[in-house]
Amino acid sequence: MPSTPPPPVRACLFDMDGLLIDSEDLYTICTNTVLAEHNRPSLPWSIKAQLQGRPGPQASQIFHAWAQLPITPEEFYARQSQLQREHFPKTQPLPGVLDLLIGLRKRGVKTALATSSHKGNFELKSSHLPHVFDHFDEEHRVLGDDERIAPGRGKPAPDIYLLALKTLNEVAKANGDEDIRPEECLVFEDSVPGVESGRRAGMQVVWCPHPELLLEFKGREREVLAGLTGEHKENEEEELARTELQLEQGKRRVGQPGEIDDGWATLLETLEGFPYHKFGIEEKNGKEVSK
């Protein structure tokens, strides 16, 4: 366990699907429709839990190995995309999201988006929700098909969250502000691979899972919060070498997961009534600001 508690939060980095908006349930509807058309069982949460948060290619391998559909992957995705174009424009923000985004802005906390969704799907899900996504400046939206993320380096690898932080620090540098360190970031995630991604980025994490996902990991919550579910398979030495330039002496180790009960991750069943003080965002001179 760390000898010191996490520092106050200066930036919040957000996943999207199932965290900001209710798109995870819409994904399930689309997938189950195709499965039913081919007399296959509905997608169980034991499989869905492995798909959440992952980039398309990795999720595809897991899904098709389980589904054993009598059609090609190309035929499946053509039909699924048709259904997604119908359902994704219906997305709505999840409880507490708008109040949290507004509250963070009032308190001077920087925000960025880090989603595995590619640009086309992102626009389908977000274009009708400007009151949600206007809280993320264009340069602070990192999508799953961002060319700056190397192939195979999506969640649960830490790259997407480190890149989101880099976009914030580029603006901070231009404004003459002090860099935000990884340990001063709070990642918001609903998925298990996403929690591991945030922990491997050396950041604090809030895990706010779907109720069915929480049931799936009942008894393993502490393992999830530590990022120790083993979703990321890269050799630890290779991971450390890859992120060596991002390390600072005495700071948390970027590239590795956390430890059980280390105090760097929190389980919240809802984002409603968010506990700002728990993360060092305090009221000062009549205003709440990030210290």
Reply yes or no on whether 17 is catalytic. yes
Query: Which residue's entry shows tokens 């450390």?
Result: 240
Q: In the annotation, is 145 catalytic?
A: no
Q: Helix/strand/coil (H, E, C) string of the chain?
A: CCCCCCCCCCEEEECCECCCECHHHHHHHHHHHHHHHCCCCCCCHHHHHHHCCCCHHHHHHHHHHHHCCCCCHHHHHHHHHHHHHHHHHHCCECCCHHHHHHHHHHCCCEEEEECCCCHHHHHHHHCCCHHHHCCCCHHHEECCCCCCCCCCCCCCCCHHHHHHHHHHHHHHHHCCCCCCCHHHEEEEECCHHHHHHHHHCCCEEEECCCHHHHHHCCCCHHHHHHCCCCCCCCCHHHHHHHHHHHCCCCCCCCCCCCCCCCCCEEECCCCCCCCHHHHCEEEECCEEEEC
Check 15, 22, 159, 262 and give the catalytic one. 15
**The one catalytic residue among 17, 22, 159, 262:** 17
Active-site positions?
15, 17
